Chains A and B, each alone.
Chain A
Amino acid sequence: MEFPADLKYSAEHEWARVQNGEATVGITDFAQDELGDVVYVELPAVGSEVAAEATFGVVESVKAVSDLYAPVSGTVVRINEALQEKPELVNTSPYGEGWMIVVRMSRPEELEQLLSVEEYREQIGAKEG
């Protein structure tokens, strides 16, 4: 299982990639593997506000429906429209084409609360490498 070192992670298995005050958000390889085949992703509208640790959407696999939690607060500036037709991108490319939303952060200091890759690996009990 893969966990890129340049990402921040939440305890709820989301990741954030931060660039120029914006955070791209998705779910981790561990999360997609636990969910199994993703068949539907419900995302917020562009322009809506999300709050750290509050739900911003829903991901449904064949087995279950799970809430998505925002790792940071801010305004949704982009959503991954491709997931409408190809939700399986969340399984095949969780850190790439399976990204979900981009948030313009209103409280960048919240990033401090997120986990490093080492801390996240420890939380899920994943082995190094």
Chain B
Amino acid sequence: MTTPRRTPLHAAQQQCHARFMDFHGWELPVQYRGIIAEHLAVRSDAGLFDVSHMGELWVEGAGAAAALQGLLTNDLGRLQVGGVQYTLLCNEAGGTIDDLTVLRPADSAYLLCVNAANTAVDWAWLREHLPEGVAARDASEETALLALQGPRAEALLQPLVAADLTRLRRFHCLETGALGIATLLSRTGYTGEDGFELFLPADSAVLVWDALLETGVRPCGLGARDTLRIEAGFPLHGHELDPRTSPIEAGLKRFVSFDCGPFIGRAALARQAAEGAPRRRIGLRLASRAVARTGYAILRQGLPVGQVTSGAFSPTLQSSIAMGYVESRVAAAGNELAVEIRGKPILAQARPLPFYHAPRA
């Protein structure tokens, strides 16, 4: 048995009565006071997540953009200095090695923020495929990542940071000071709300964590992070995405650019985009409160047509929702499907994603 990995905020989280769970070898808080209360806090107020387990891979230098474009599906040419872009890392077959955000805080500095469970795989892939002379650095160990999410995030964060947050637009980033600590601040998140992600030196993250908690913001765990992202229709690698699932099937075609030059997987994805994928990711809203859990069968007129990849009771919609893959012929929104829960087919309507849109401020 290996020792679980912990973030720099582990002790601070224990003080907040965190309950911990294993997440791909990490010991991380699943909840503090309760998943639903945390979920609702993010939707109506704000919540603070420690996501320091995520990986941070820097690619820098003159050849960085061209080299990265050879690996990523989205058009990196459209990523301005100070911008953030959601993109995917695919294998030759068009399967998804990882999904990630790329931050471009400076002209030739690119930060890939990747899933914790994939950091090692992504890093090995970069090392293998980036040409010599392109500098790459795995900064995951020395970087902490806090996510402050919710409609009050800007108001709560502003007093702690030097930058004027009203001028930082969604999917943009800048380098600033938080309590005087060098911070890469990004207006992004994984909850469907407005919010910020703060990349911090691991050894000073606890100062920012404590200062944010002092504003009254509620600490939130991975449980709420999961229910929030399901409502927002965001895929989670290992559930909606994996090396055998393409961004086309996942409904992420808008993050795949066929005009930006060759990248690994492009031929397979172009073929699939032209021919149509045999299966598609859909949303489901169930007629029962029972939770459609990962791996449950999706049925059409009693016959299996796919599988649930994530499901939750939605605290916002007060109903059971899920995502999954079904044969494309039955994927149209509005279709009456069913999820087999403990041997019984439970009515489930195919729904467009996301389930939840944040109200515009």
A42 at the interface (CB under 8 A from B): yes
- Taking a contact as CB atoms under 8 Å apart, the answer to whether A36 and B34 are in contact is yes
Task: Say yes or no: B290 contacts A37, CB within 8 Å.
Answer: no
CA distance A117 to B313 in the complex (A): 33
A87 within 8 A of B: yes
* Residues on B with beta carbons closer than 8 Å to the beta carbon of A40: 288-291, 313, 320
Interface contacts beyond A60-B313, A62-B312: sample of 13 additional A-B pairs, CB < 8 Å, sorted by A = A36-B34, A37-B36, A37-B37, A40-B289, A40-B290, A40-B313, A40-B320, A60-B290, A62-B35, A62-B36, A63-B30, A63-B223, A65-B293
Complex Cα gap A87–B30 (Å): 21
Closest to A63 in B: B223
Inter-subunit contact A39/B31 (CB<8 Å): no
Known: A37-B34, A40-B288. A62 touches B293 (CB 8 A): no
Pick the most buried of B30, B227, B290: most chain A CB atoms within 10 A of its CB. Answer: B290
Contact in complex: A63, B35 (CB < 8 Å): yes
Query: How far apart are A25's CB and chain B's nearest CB, in angstroms?
Result: 20
Decide if A58 is an interface residue (CB 8 Å cutoff): yes
Once the chains are docked, how many angstroms separate the CA of A29 from the CA of B217? 28
Q: Give complex CA distance A39, B34 in Å.
A: 12
Question: Which B residues fall within an 8 A CB radius of A?
Answer: 30-31, 34-37, 223, 227, 288-291, 293, 312-313, 320, 342
- How far apart sit A87 and B289, CA to CA, in the bound complex (Å)? 10
Give A25-37 as 1s and 0s: 1 = Cβ < 8 Å from B's Cβ atoms: 0000000000011
Q: Is the CB of B223 within 8 A of A39?
A: no
- Picked from B30, B289, B342, the residue with its CB within 8 Å of the CB of A39 is B289
Q: Are A36 and B293 in contact (CB under 8 A)?
A: no
Q: How far is the CA of A60 from the CA of B227 in the complex (A)?
A: 14
In the bound complex, CA of A65 to CA of B37 (Å) = 19
List, in ascending order, chain A residues with CB within 8 A of B30's CB.
63
Task: Please name all residues of chain B whose beta carbon is closer than 8 Å to the beta carbon of A84 when the two chains form the complex.
Answer: 289
Q: Which of A36, A42, A58, A87 contacts B35 (CB 8 A)?
A: A36
Evaluate contact between A62 and B223: CB separation under 8 angstroms.
Answer: yes
Known: A39-B313, A63-B30. A58 touches B288 (CB 8 A): no
Task: Give bound CA distance, A111 to B158, whole Å.
Answer: 61
The docked-state distance in angstroms from the alpha carbon of A65 to that of B291 is 8
- Tell me whether A37 and B35 are in contact (CB under 8 A): yes
Which residue of B is nearest A41, CB measured?
B289
Chain A residue nearest to B19 in the complex (CB): A36
Q: Which residues of B contact A42 (CB under 8 A)?
A: 290, 342
Of B31, B288, B289, B290, the contact of A36 (CB 8 Å cutoff): B31
Query: Within the assembled complex, what's the spacing in Å between the Cα atoms of A103 and B289?
Result: 25
List of B residues within 8 angstroms of A60 by Cβ? 289-291, 313
